[in-house]
Structure 1
Amino acid sequence: MAINKERFNELLDRLSDKDLELVSELMERLSQKKSPHREVPLDDEPTTQDDLDAINKAKEAYLKGELINFKDVEHELRS
């Protein structure tokens, strides 16, 4: 999705001060990267039994409602 600076500023105006701080830190990190057009390489490694076990465990946790707390995600982004 293409976004222009005007739309971006509209979205920024909607954020709380706390959210604005988090977005600002993320923007700082992104702007410090060398290439503005970074791509994540395709993972061409074969799926292992450990991978499948982890996927199944995650699905089970999701179905049980054992979700990640947003505060934990926010902390991880700030670290």
Structure 2
Amino acid sequence: MRTAFYISDGTALTAEAFGHALLSMFPVELNHKTLPFIDTQEKAENVCRQIKQALNQDGEPPLIFHTFVNEKLK
């Protein structure tokens, strides 16, 4: 099953709300993973590893919804 990531350097509530609203238009089942407070380079690199792991496990590219204020972490 494909994974949807909701990622933010804040609470990730906006990314989740946007992602869920968009995905509600399609009849798909997904694994949902919310990753709030990704506010350092180290945390962002860990997220990249999780995304790559999801790709390898699912066999499909994950969907990524993000809201970052910090331009360096995008």
Q: Considering the TM-score relative to the shorter chain, is it more than 0.5? A: no
Larger Rg over CA atoms: 1
Q: More strand by proportion, 1 or 2?
A: 2
TM-score, normalised to structure 1, is 0.27
TM-score, normalised to structure 2, is 0.29
Q: More helix by proportion, 1 or 2?
A: 1
